[in-house]
Structure 1
Amino acid sequence: MKRLTSFLLMFCFSLSIIFMSFRQSQFFSGSSYDVRVVNGFTDNSSLVLVIWCSSQHNDLGGRALQAGDDFSWSLRTNLWATTLFHCTMKWDQRRTSFEAFQVQRDSQRCRPFRTCFWLVKEDGFYFSNDQVNWKKDFSWS
């Protein structure tokens, strides 16, 4: 009986070590994506676009973007497919928030290069995965 108990303890210990080593590997850490938010205003020489982005565990901070400037970052999705980056935008008297990356929405549409582009314009927020074909996702609120 003692041998069986010792064997089971060693077996469980070995499995936990194997699991933890896999858990730390890239196999379990998800896919990498790049996100880029561009100030696409045509005439805002005196007004900057202020952007602040964060996830639950990572505050990317804020930036003031002149026309043509961008705010970019890379991320890795988590095992549970709950990765979410949220951005707050302010321009003149307008202020809105949006999800710059949400894994369930963006894991397919940011392909083939796992890159998500946002173009912020006076009339709203446009999405692209190639910087050529843009689709308006929503307007300023």
Structure 2
Amino acid sequence: MSKVVMILILTLIMAQQGLGFLVWEMVYHVHLLNRMTTDFPPLTVHVKSKNDDLRERTVRKDNEYYFKFKPSLWGNTLFYCVFRHGDKVKMFDVYKSGDYKHEKFSCRQHRQRLVYWKVQDDGFYRSCDDESYVKMYDWRR
């Protein structure tokens, strides 16, 4: 059998098993969690991409804002967010194609991919399982 046929067969097998290895199977679920110590001033989040404006939202203490999407087949999906808490403002990418391919295997084995961003007084933490978080950014620029 030629290499092309073997690749096609393997691709079809992976698609049938729903292993989530194929871009068109994946669905990302992004959770922006407010874990600030106070609700005053309120935390606002404004999520955007090139094609979508998810509008500014107020996220109360101990609550979250959630959205989901399927990434582009071209591998160029990008969602960024502006976070505001009083006079503190921070903007960064909450999802960028390619940023998550090195996550631990347990986070990559399903079609439903989870991305958690926990906002705290000292900064922003990311996780793929809502358990083990890594600090990614401070509030200051």
Flag structure 2 segments of 5+ consecutive residues without an equivalent: 1-21
Following the alignment from structure 1 to structure 2, what is the Cα–Cα distance between the partners of residues 37 and 57? 20
Supply the AA of the counterpart residue of 1:71: Y
2:27 to 23, 32, 35: 32
Query: Is the CA contact (8 Å cut-off) linking 1:35 and 1:116 kept in structure 2?
Result: yes
TM-score w.r.t. length of structure 2: 0.74
Match of 1:44 in 2: 38
Structure with the larger RCO, 1 or 2 (CA within 8 Å, 6+ apart): 2
Following the alignment from structure 1 to structure 2, what is the Cα–Cα distance between the partners of residues 125 and 104? 20
Flag structure 1 segments of 5+ consecutive residues without an equivalent: 1-26
Considering only CA atoms, is the larger Rg found in Structure 1 or Structure 2? 1
Supply the AA of the counterpart residue of 1:111: R
Supply the AA of the counterpart residue of 2:91: S
The answer to whether residue 129 in structure 2 is matched with residue 134 in structure 1 is: no
Query: Is the CA contact (8 Å cut-off) linking 1:30 and 1:78 kept in structure 2?
Result: no
TM-score w.r.t. length of structure 1: 0.74
Q: How many residues align?
A: 114
Instruction: Give the match's secondary structure for 2:73.
Output: coil
1:56 to 41, 50, 55: 50
Supply the AA of the counterpart residue of 2:130: Q
Following the alignment from structure 2 to structure 1, what is the Cα–Cα distance between the partners of residues 26 and 101? 9
Instruction: Give the match's secondary structure for 1:35.
Output: strand
Q: How does 1:43-122 map to 2 (within 5 A)?
A: 43-109=37-103, 111-113=108-110, 114-122=113-121
For residue 46 of structure 1, report the CA deviation from its aligned partner: 2.2
Identity %: 25
For residue 28 of structure 1, report the CA deviation from its aligned partner: 6.8
